[in-house]
Structure 1
Amino acid sequence: MLFSTGEGTFLTGSAVFLTQVVGMSAAQSGLALTIVGVAEFLFAYPAGRVVDRLGPKRMWAGSTVGRAACFVALPFVDGFGQYIAVGVVFAVFGSLGGASHGAYILDVLKPKERVETQAYMYSSLNLGFTLGAAIGGVALATGSLTVVQYTPFFAAALMLANAYWVTRLPAAPHDLRVASGEQRERPPGPSAHRNVGWILTNFCIGVLWTNQVLLNVVIPLWLVEATDAPHVLLAWLFGTNTVLCIFLPAYTSKGVRTIDDALRYAWVSTGFFVVSCLITMYTHSTVGFVTVVLVWLGHVTVTGAELAISGATWAIQAELMDPRRRGDYQGVEEVSRALGGQWAPWLFTGLAMSWFAEGRGWLIIAGVIVVATIGLGPSVRMAERFRDRHFPVQPEDDDRAGNPRSTGDSPGLTGIAMADNPGESPVDR
């Protein structure tokens, strides 16, 4: 929550900051953000490898300090080139932070706690972004560019506080191996980029996560351009989504424990997504209060798609990553998911707004999601077969109790239960 409050505070006023403080045009701002996004994409895989070599907790704390330093530098940035320089450095720390945070969570938690814990964290992130938006709104309401200029200092302070509390967390098993000198070489086993099933799984998940494009881009544009709904409805749409994503994740993810559960929830997400497309398409020919209700309902149903795919994603991460290479797997996941969804703003907007009369492009958007969900099943099974060959699952109860491992020195599902020698317990570790 500290992290997302700081970042949310800056993001709320980022358009004003980039154009009126840094002095970039709208076109330059868009290009700069695209370059930073591409940089974070390119750094995702090597960042994961670094996390595996140096330990997730150390890199998580260090990357947060690095982000704080970038926020401190932002008020002194002048022009496009300087912003790009700071932005690319921020992208490096962003990639390290994403890979290390994800690896730490899966490494330190018991398997039965992973999905539930990530659901609460998802709620906390949304609450933090909401608080950040409120603080950023206050800064904008002052009408002072000086206040907006130095808002990044507030974000930096929260990042430093966040880094401190990260250092207070218990060391993950991977961190302990690094500290003891056992992790001198690259982790054993094949790299994640050889796991074709994992790559395809995350590509399909990236397509399913394009529900965010509907939430944040396509439905708002559709409301403005293709319906008679009042523009103030946009505030209610985003407010509803935020509230639901704060209070519901812990409940909507309770039924997700296994891969089969995850695949079932993926279809639930797709069902919500398709219903949202059909409802929103229909608003092209409605008027007045009916339009308002249907647009709002279309936004609520696509929020249902977001909540369902969240639980599915967390379960798939927990079950299909090599516990010895979680940073590596996080990096490949980021790249694959980006490839699965980066094209969506352009394609979905074109389909919905201009390519087919009366909104029939919504049917193609829904069809894309259905095809991705169909492809997810065989991709997950391929990843399961790779897992069973290279890092077979161990009974978690025996591992957690510190009992001898039952199948020699094959790594278990959880990093915390992994021992380098047969019979060595996580308690001894």
Structure 2
Amino acid sequence: MTTTLSGTRRGFFRRLIPPTPMSRRLATQSMLFSTGEGAFNTGSAVFLTQVVGMSAARVGLALTITGVAEFLMAYPAGRFVDRFGPKRVWSLATWGRAACFLALPFVGSFGEYLVVGLLFALAASSGHSSYQSYVLDALPTEERIDTQAYMYSALNVGFTFGAILGGVALAFDNLTVVRWTPWFAAVLMAFTAWWISRLPQAPHDLRVASGEARVRPPGPGALRNPGWMLVTFFNGTLWTNQVLLNVVIPLWLVEATDAPHVLLAWLFGTNTVLCIFLPAYTSKGVRDLRDAVRYVRISSAFFVASCLITMVTHSTVGLVTVLLVWLGHVTVTGAELFISGASWSFQAELMDPRRRGEYQGVQDVSRTLGSMWAPALYTYLAMSRGDQGWLAIAGIIVVATVAIGPSVRLAERFAVRHFPADQVDRDAGDDALPETLEDTGQYAVPEPAPPAASSTQGLDLT
């Protein structure tokens, strides 16, 4: 029995390590990136108000302007990625983030911060489109979802490390330390950019190098694919679990329950731990679009359960309230984990492989439209309408869940009509990168598989 339990524990922790060289390299990049971001974000409020000297209202205005700019840049950035290649744009965007972090200690006014913030928005738009395009382009079909799950876990590990480092900087209670914290993030971003440059060329990068990608592919683009726009819009609505997680439930705990405020730390800690250890397991059931739609339903069931559980805590007391609020937070984390797997499948199956950057840009726009209203609406419904408000939030998710099925079928029919079969086959087969890759950026010749070799487990990441 002891041997069995020990083997089970070893198997559990071994399963947390990405199984292929490429997946480990991508997971490492995710952790480097999020550690730098997390280190700055932890103290960003102190930095902007006390170092830069902006009022809270000015901070909010600046963040709103840069958020709108990132939204408007999403589609052009995606077209740019298709034109110049995902790896090149990804690396350049990360160098751009490093430069912005280097500039931050010298910012001293609202206008100066806005300039840097707009450059951040440009880097974020192009970086997100290029990173997603590269991951889908560089990996074999059977590894895409699982690899993104490992990258998602690594991202959460990095944000945790970054938050700890940012907290250490804040613990000095010294504005000079806070002022120069962005340089730590800049160093990590520069190292991340170098790491990206050492990744192999993806098939689309090779087409760019040969001049093939300079000619716009024939056929309709992403903006003429109504199924894709509907899928990503409703997917954005389903991702409003993050609004429940980060905004509504914490506000509800403080304003409508008798739970101690220190419980908030346990809630976010639980979410972080679950999002580190579980994505590699929860993503295993997604292998096609039918599985993805099933995962949407499971995610929505968790979301609705969270609404119903949290709803009753305004009339409970003591330990019962604490346990129910915690359970509500855990169930909304379940919604996050299952919609992640579904989202990765939609990206892998419903994007035109010749236009992944453009499709990613359209997704960023549609998904934002499907979720940007949620913080204001959900907060109003929960805090002002009570039980009816929580039921309305659950109803919104049910409607999005019902609508995403026909939307996926519409996008699938579009793919059958307009995505060239030979390109899809080539993308999933001959052009998929082998597991053993050289740092030269060219394809490596894979070692012959040993007799009776076991199949490789897959991976995935945002």
If the length of structure 1 is used for normalisation, what is the TM-score?
Answer: 0.92
Aligned pairs for 1:102-121 within 5 A: 102-121=132-151
Report the alpha carbon displacement of residue 320 of structure 1 after superposing the two structures with TM: 0.4
Report the alpha carbon displacement of residue 183 of structure 1 after superposing the two structures with TM: 2.0
The 8 Å contact of residues 392 and 413 in structure 1, kept in 2 or not, is answered as no
Is 1:13 matched up with 2:43?
yes
Question: 2:113 aligns to what?
Answer: 83
- The one-letter code matched in structure 1 to 2:361 is G
Q: Structure 1 residues 322, 2: closer, same or farther in 2, change over 3 A? A: same
- The one-letter code matched in structure 2 to 1:391 is F
Question: 1:257 aligns to what?
Answer: 287
Distance in 2, Cα, partners of 1:147 & 1:276: 40
- Aligned equivalent of 2:394, options 354, 366, 373: 366
Question: 2:320 aligns to what?
Answer: 290
Report the alpha carbon displacement of residue 187 of structure 1 after superposing the two structures with TM: 3.1
The 8 Å contact of residues 258 and 318 in structure 2, kept in 1 or not, is answered as yes
Question: 2:232 aligns to what?
Answer: 202
Question: 1:405 aligns to what?
Answer: none
- Secondary structure in 1 aligned to 2:214? coil
Report the alpha carbon displacement of residue 178 of structure 1 after superposing the two structures with TM: 0.9
- Aligned equivalent of 2:418, options 390, 394, 398: 390
- Aligned equivalent of 1:248, options 258, 265, 278: 278
The 8 Å contact of residues 209 and 341 in structure 1, kept in 2 or not, is answered as yes
- Aligned equivalent of 2:198, options 168, 180, 195: 168
- Name the Cα RMSD after superposition: 1.5
- Aligned equivalent of 2:425, options 399, 404, 412: 412
Report the alpha carbon displacement of residue 180 of structure 1 after superposing the two structures with TM: 1.9
Aligned pairs for 1:15-54 within 5 A: 15-54=45-84
Question: 1:140 aligns to what?
Answer: 170
Report the alpha carbon displacement of residue 182 of structure 1 after superposing the two structures with TM: 2.2
CA deviations on 1:74-115 (whole Å, 9 max, x unpaired) are: 111111111111100110011000000000000010011000
Is 1:190 matched up with 2:203?
no
- The one-letter code matched in structure 2 to 1:340 is G
Report the alpha carbon displacement of residue 126 of structure 1 after superposing the two structures with TM: 0.3
Question: 1:378 aligns to what?
Answer: 406
- Shift >4 Å, 4+ stretches: 415-419
- Aligned equivalent of 1:321, options 343, 347, 351: 351
Question: 2:376 aligns to what?
Answer: 346
Question: 2:187 aligns to what?
Answer: 157
Distance in 2, Cα, partners of 1:412 & 1:391: 10
Unaligned runs of 5+ in 2: 1-30, 433-442, 446-462
Distance in 2, Cα, partners of 1:377 & 1:324: 25
Unaligned runs of 5+ in 1: 394-408, 420-425
- The one-letter code matched in structure 2 to 1:70 is C
Question: 2:243 aligns to what?
Answer: 213
Identify which range, 174-183 or 294-303, moves more after superposition: 174-183
Question: 2:436 aligns to what?
Answer: none
CA deviations on 1:213-268 (whole Å, 9 max, x unpaired) are: 00000000000000000000000000000000000000000000100000000000
Question: 2:23 aligns to what?
Answer: none
Question: 1:122 aligns to what?
Answer: 152
Distance in 2, Cα, partners of 1:23 & 1:244: 37
CA deviations on 1:13-66 (whole Å, 9 max, x unpaired) are: 000001001111111111111111111111000000000000000000010000
Report how many aligned residue pairs link the two structures: 405
Identity of aligned residues (%): 71
The 8 Å contact of residues 141 and 428 in structure 2, kept in 1 or not, is answered as no
Report the alpha carbon displacement of residue 179 of structure 1 after superposing the two structures with TM: 1.2
Distance in 2, Cα, partners of 1:416 & 1:142: 54
Question: 1:277 aligns to what?
Answer: 307
Q: Which structure has the higher relative contact order (CA within 8 Å, separation 6+)?
A: 2
Report the alpha carbon displacement of residue 121 of structure 1 after superposing the two structures with TM: 0.1
Distance in 2, Cα, partners of 1:134 & 1:14: 14
Question: 1:179 aligns to what?
Answer: 209
If the length of structure 2 is used for normalisation, what is the TM-score?
Answer: 0.86
